[in-house]
Every structure is written in structure tokens, then in C-alpha cells.
Structure 1
Amino acid sequence: MASSSNTKTAYDAFLSFRGADLRKNFVGHLYQALKQKGIHTFRDNEELEKGDEISPVLMKAIEESCIAIIVFSDDYASSRWCLEEVAKIMECREARNLTVLPVFYKVDPREVREGRNSYRRALNKHESKLGENSEKVMRWKKALFAAGNLSGWHLNDGDESELIQGIVIFILTQLCRTPLHVADYPVGIDSQVVKLRRMLNLESTDDVLMMGLWGQGGIGKTTLAKAIYNDVFRLFEGSSFLAHVRENSKNDKDLVALQEKLLNDVLLPGKHLKVPNVDGGKKLIQQRLGRKRVLVVLDDVDDLHQLRALAGKDKWFGDGSRIIVTTRDSHLLTSHEIDRDRVYGVTALNDGKARELLSNYAFPTHQNLKIRTDLVNGVLDHAKGLPLALEVLGSFLCNRGEAEWASTLRRLSRFPNKTINDVLKISYMGLEEDHKEIFLHIACFFKGWKAYYVDEILYSCDFEPTIGLKVLSERSLIKINSGTLEMHDLIRSMGMHIVKQESDDPRRRSRLWLYEDVVDVLSRDMVRFANMIKTLLLIFDSNY
């Protein structure tokens, strides 16, 4: 499935309809109203019956449109051409989330989806010519059923001009909602978007579903959230992507700003709805969004207070709404009553994808430099599939020679990259003091040890390892796999760096794990201890 951000659009809207009378009246007026508002709309100018096969021009126009408007009239299904159009439109809706807006013009939606009255008569005629079990007719029936189930407009004897204005305003609102930039090189994203779509259960419109994306810093949670947002946001009445929630909610004033952005993203493009305070914002969200099917992404959440202010309960939003939360803390998600089977653990890239991402950044197409395989493998081994590390290191090493690659690898073995380290350190800084100590112990000494043995050691040092290890696991800082403590090499490096920064003098650090540091400290302490004994002996001799 192609990401929405990569879809080329030549037209804002595509108009599908049947009949010269409609062309001269309702459809003609709608087309002119769209045109006056600057909405670039494709309308077929052919008025004669065109045969069975949809023309390549129309097929291309449908594929390159952002929105398709289908005007279902009494004789729409009598045209094989129109049936081919609706089938193609619904295929594009499934393949790339083309927004489909049905207008039921003096027909009941049940006639369209259930093949009643004129639609039954038209389909029966097609079957008599093509065969009852014709694949083409079955395809048309499936498309009509799907389109007839979509939310749209139903006009019998109402005011056509009022309906046209409503359609134009709705389309303008839809076009204001633009896709997000996902990444320069979205490697490994599309396959994960397919999984997330299944988890979102978009076909169900009778419930509100909350889903979490969880993983360590730099693993690609935000990138993936943007990709799934782009892929599905046009299926909703309104949408909002709230980025950097942790960073942008230091106090209640910041949370109010986020509440305002959420409301205005969904409700009032180009205007501004004011929120008095956090509690007032909660009430407004419930009142204004409680009947709307919306998509909301809360990115980088690290506190329940943020979730309760922005997406407190599922009843805040209309049926069919979807709320996606990205976080480093899985416990935060389950505490907010998000089902565990709706929590997607974002994992590191496999070797092939990691190599592809690194190559995209380190070896642009115009670069002719050749780098030894062992040096490239060294960088890949250092990054361990972490997209942030691959991007930062690849960009840094771009257009650099082998000597610089080798020097960078030697440096990384002693000093972690600051950009990567700062991102990873955010998870550590959010820990309680005793949990920080447990983390540093594991980073310096216990990676790869059996958890039960580490538990005993930490307990003997007056820590509470049962809850401590659980918290570290929830914060994506460690993993316990088959009873063994695991930690990403870059996270371990970050922990060791924190200890090294305590002092330039190893004797003043809280932990020693390098052989040369231990020998240095012990040898200097041995000399100091020997001198102290010598001084004491001299004092003793002088007194006696």
C-alpha cells in the first residue's frame, strides 16, 4: 500500500454522474460552485454512451484525484461506463484512501447498496447480456454496496443550492487537511502501516478505538505515526496530529494550547476557538467532538495528565473515531485502559532495511566514493537497527573517505554521538532516583546476566528490583528475554556515559567497570594506603 504522502494528485475532485439533465442542472451548478472556490475538478465532457470499458483518460483522472464525488441518480446504474467508474473509484479508495463522497440524488441509499428498484432493473439487464455470474457484474454490485454504505448527502425535494454549498464547504475543509512529511527515506514503513491498519479496524464505525505505538527513543514511533496518519486521515470527518506532546505540555498553559489546536484542527480551519483552561478544554472537546468521527494522534506522551487532558475517555469522540498515542512508556497506555492487543511495539530495523537506510543517507546517488564493507558493517553494528542512529551517522559520514569512517568508528567506541545520546537520555531523565541507580547498575555491569541473579544482587543493595526492572522494561530501557537482561548497545553506552560524566577522575565516579580504570584506582589507592601506614609507623616510633 502506498503511503498517502507519495500519491500524486492532479485534481482536487472527480465528478461521476449519469445523464444530460443532471449535467445541465445539479451537476453543472455543483461544478461551477467548486470551480469558483478554486477546487480543480474533473468532469467528463462526453455526453454519449461510451461503451463498456472505462477510458484511460478517466482512469488516470480517478487515480490522480484527491476526492471523488459520485452522484447516484435514478438511471446511474443503467450505464456500464458509470458502473466501471464507481468500481474504479472504490478500488482507489481501498488502495490509496481516495476520499469518496456519495450524493443520493432523488434515490434512497438502500436502492444503491441493496440493488433495489431502478438499480435492480439495470443490473438485471446487464446480467442478461453478460451472464448472471459475470465477474464484471459482481464487481459492480460489490462497488455499489460499498459506496451505498458511505456517509454522504441525500436529496429528495430539498434546496439544491443549499446542498451544493454544503458539499463545497465540506470539500474545502477536506482539502485544508494536508498529509504530513513522513521521512526523507521511509524505509520499512509501508509494511508496518499495513499491520496498523488492521489493528485500527477501520471497517468498524460503532465504537471508539485507542491504540498505542510504544518503543525506545529513536526507534521510529513518530515516523510510523505520521505514515499511518497520512494513510487514513481522509477517511474521517476531522483529524489532528499533535506532535511533541511531552515537550509542549510543561504546564497547564501549554496543555490549553494543545487542546485548542486539537479542536481547531478538527472543527474550524482558518479560525481560532479559544479554550479558557484545561478543565474547560476537556468539556469543549467532549461537546464539540462527541458526535464527530475523528482521527487524533498524540505524539510522544509521557504523563497520564496529558492523556486525560487531550483524550480522557472514548465517549469524548464520535463513533468510529480512532486515537493513536506514541510513547516510551507502555504502562502509561495500559493505565489509560488501552487494550494490550492494541499496543504496537515498534522494533529496530532488520539488517537489510538498516543497510538500505544507512546507504540512503551515507551514499547519495551523486557520490562516487567507495567505502570498505567492514567499515560500513561497523557502523551498522554500532546502530543496531536504530533508525535515528542510522540517519545521524549516515548523514555525518556522507562524502567522507575511508580514513574518516575508521576514525569515526574509533571515536564512537569511546564517546557516544551527542544527538543520539540526547534523545535516548530522555527516557533515563524521567525515572525516579532509585530506578536511575538500577538502570546504571545494569548498563555498567549486568547486561546479559540472568534477571533472577541481578534481582538478588540489587535487593542486597537495598533496592526494590521487582518494580524497578518492570519500570525499566515499560520505559523501553531494558528487555527481559527468556529470563536474561537485554539492553540496546546505544542505551548501554548512554548509561556508561552518564557515569563517566560524574568526574574526569575515575576514583570519584560511582561505578568502575573498565579493567584499566579499576587497576589505576586500586594501584593509586595501594600507594596511598602504604604511605599512610608508613606515616603511622613513624608517628608510633617517635612516641616510643
Structure 2
Amino acid sequence: MALSTPTASATLHYAGPAPRWSHEVFLSFRGIDTRKGITSDIYDRLQNMRGIITFMDDQELEVGDVISPRLLTAIKESRFAIVVLSQHYASSSWCLEELTTIFQCMKDNNRILPLFYQVEPSHVRYQKGNFEVAFTKHESRQSIAKVKQWRDALQKVANLSGWDSKNYVSDKELVEDIVKLVWSRVLQARIENESTTRDFGSFKATRMAMGKVMTALKNDQVTVIGVHGMGGVGKTTMVKHVGAQARNNGLFDKVIMAVVSQSPDLKKIQAQLAEMLALKLEENTEEGRAYILKERIMRGNRILIILDDIWRKIELSSIGIPSNNELQMRNSKILLTTRIMHVCEDMDTQAKITLNILSEEDSLNLFLKKARMSFHESTEIYKVARKVVQKCGGLPIALIAVARALGDKDLEEWKEAAQRLQVSQPSNPEDERHVFECIKLSYDYLRSNDAKSCFLLCCLFPEDYEIPTEDLLKYGVGIGLFQDSNTMQEARARVELVVKSLKASSLLLEPKEKGCVRMHDVIRDVAISISLLEDGQRFFVKAGCELMEWPKINAHEGYSVISLMKNKISKLPEELAGFSMWWQQKQRNFSTLIARS
């Protein structure tokens, strides 16, 4: 019924492959009622503050009953629609036609979210009050079939779970609730879309592992499942794919996910899980937040909790995750990933599944696809490509990085790359040194020094960190990059171009937040190692390591940058007293100090 606020446990069911969305939210509203009020507030909070791509028609005049091609495309290419039903919404034949089109394009009603703004839901459902007045006029101007179509659309939208403005003290509180719920839905949909647009499911190794995970998820006796595999083998992508598949198959009502990493930040983990549950954690202490989170999980049913990148045993109760027995009572499960086999045992997993490296055939197919090239088997470059692929160790992250680096190079450069990777080939397949060489090769093929330096700057941030491009600009200028830019605006544009090229090279990832970028933890490890080999670029990085005191640093190592971001250091050593915890230039033997708490 329309009187209740939508809950985070409401499901989103997508049929078949996920389409490519141009917009995440489409706003349907009556311009004269709400354009300059609550609709603008919703748009601002979604688009500008949350980075949720939102379509809001900027046309002041609504003419005719036919939806324009531009609006029709926007509706078709939107994940969700928020329908702002206001006093004079039904007076506009344009709005009614738009609402009808939304229902035609969005067969899954869970994608349509109604807001009853200063109107009674029953007035919308049965066309009473202002809605009755509006339809009296429509009946004298429109065909019976058209009017019936519009009435049906209003009845449908009134029967959906939505927000009722009279249940809120202020518009601010209402908008906050809308944004919280929409954000949780968008996060869920992004994970599903990301997993279904990847092609890893076509590989034998991933198909086998995914089949085993799905079997374990269907087993009522199994509550905790562990996925083990080398760094860069595709564990994260696989569990996202499995989560989306399990949800679409009806195994779970909700799939939530958090990244744990080498240095777990409990508050960050709690926040990630809470966001996907549309839960606001206002408590300051980890214990208080854990209590609220656990309470919310126990109120739900059939929740799959994915914990990615665990390095050592972690007490799930400290996060707010219920015990195995409690989860079993709610038909919920945990799916975790780790590089270390014994972590599966430490976490009491009842099913342990290994994700193996890709076969040579699958490796070659992925490599050629990402290189955007096709060769006849008889050609010399095809033979060289096979050699290059063999040296990538069956790891998708290495295959993709090298493919992107060599895609536009000539035969001689391919031969040189193959020879270089051959020399560095480790005798032990489990040795991750070949990962370093593959990523280093991609790094060396970057066209500009600014791109190389900007890439290295990204390793200064903690694992899985949303790196603001504005910070890259500040740090870059601080170490002397972008010297050919005359203004900060030019330098900012240069950073954007560099980040774009690094993403195209698969050295950086798409962000979850607007104005940011991310770096895979394997590539981050390689970037730190590269910095130690580069002249004048040695980095000391202990970001997000929960340090309580200033670490011991050998001044003779000649570090140019120190990064101690996201630690708990409350006091600088005496020799650094009086200096900013942000960053300073020319301090003793360090050209840059980055020690942000």
C-alpha cells in the first residue's frame, strides 16, 4: 500500500542481462508545483551530493499529450523513477502521459518510487479532490480509452510503497529519507550491473568456482562460505556476480557488501553495510553501531553478506554481524573472499572454494578481447601474443593491464615485451612476481611522466579508498607536476585527462563516488614497489594501518613522500612539531609529508 515508507528489503528483479543505463534516477513531477521546491532539493542531493546520475527535465513549458523522443529515451534508460505526486499533478496531461510511459517501460514496479507530496494517497488512487477536478476536464477533451489509461496509471502508482509527506516533520527530513533509500537501491543495482556486464562467467575456472558457491548458498546447513584465490584472479568480480545471480534467482532478498582489507576499519565496514540496508548509523562508538547494525540484519530475512578481501581472522560481532546460528534463523549467509587459505579456516567457513587462474585458452581470449585485436594463427604477432599471455600467469588483472598497454603497439614492441616478461618469469607459479612485471610493463608504456607520477600518487591512499581527483591535483602540484599549466583550472583539466588515460589502461578503476577514482589493491601494492625503484620517487606508505604512534623511518632511505593517512596518530615527533598534518614541502629530507588523520 502507498501509505508505508519503502524498506531496504524490497527486491529488484531484472530479467536477463543488465542494460546500460544512461540515468540512475528519472524524476517525474509537475513543474509549477515542485520544480523550485522539493524536486530541486531531491535532484541536488542525488546528483550533486551523492553522485547519482539523475534526469530532471529542465523545460518549463509542457505542451501537448505526446511524450517527446528525448523524454521517452530518458525514461527507457533510467534504472529507477521517482514520481512526485503533487496537488496539480493530474492537471497536466503531459505528467499523466509520462507516468503511463514509466509503467510501460519499467515492468518491474520496484523500480518506481512514488512520493505523495501534500496529497492524500487515496485521492491519487481513486482520483478525488484536485485529481477529480482535473479528470472532469480531461474527460471532456480526451478519448475514453486515454482517460482510462491515465486512471489505471494513477491507481497503480498509488498502490506502490512510497513516501507520504505528512509523515515527516519537514521537507529536509523527507528528502534525507528519500536519498537514503535511493542510495541503497542504487548501490545494489550498481553491483548487479557491474557483475552482469563482465565476461568472467564465460571462463572455465570461474564457472566451476561459481557453481560450487551457488551449491553452497543453496545448502541449508552452510552459513559461511569462503572463496580463496591469488590476488588479481577475480574473486571480487566473481562474488559480485554470484550475489547478483543469487538475488535474481530468489535465493536472497538482499545482498550487501563491504571491503575489509589488510587493515580493517570497523566504522567504514559498518558504514558500507548500513548504506546498502538504507540504515543510518548515528552512534559514535563501534559497539553502538554494531548493535544497531545487528538489530537491522536480524529484522530482515534472507540477506547475503559479502565480506571482500579478508587477510586475517576478524570478529564479526565487532562489526555487527550476527552469529552463525542467528543468521541461520533468518535464512541469511556470509560469503567472504581471501588470498590466504587458512583465513577460511580461521573464519569457521563451512565451505571452502578455490578460484583458480584462467586456462591458457581463456587467458588468450581475454587478452585479445581487451587488446581489441584479432590475429590469424599463422601470423608472427599471434605467436608473440601467446608468449605474452603465458607470462601473465592466468591472472585477469595482469592480462588486462598488459593487453591495454600493447593494444596499439607494433610487432617489435610486442617482441620486446615478451622478452622482458620471459626474463622475469618466476619458477613457482604461486610467486606473484610476474604480477609485478605485468603491471610494471603497463606502467612503463604510459605516455607521459605526469601520468606515471599521478599513478604512483594513488598508492598513497589506503586500500579501496575513494581517491578525490582534487587531492591528486594538490599532491601533484606539491611535487612539481603539471608545470606546463598556467592556471589551476588548466592543471585540474590535465588531472582529469591523466585519470581518464589511467582508467583506459586498466591501472585505475571507476569510482563509487563522484569526483573520485579507485585503485585495485594488487595494483596499489605494485605501485608502492615501483615507487621504491624510481629515482626521486621513493614512497613510505603506511596509510590506513591503524597506527597509534609515529613509525620509525630511516632518513637515509631518501623517501620523497611519506603517507600516513587514516591512522590514529595524535602526536607528531618533536622534529616535526609545528608542521601541518596535511602536507608540507621541503621538510628535512622529505619533499612531501602527507600524514592526514
Normalising by the smaller structure, the TM-score range is 0.3 to 0.5
TM-score using structure 2 length: 0.44
Structure of higher CA gyration radius: 1
Write 1 or 2 for the structure with the bigger share of helix.
Answer: 1
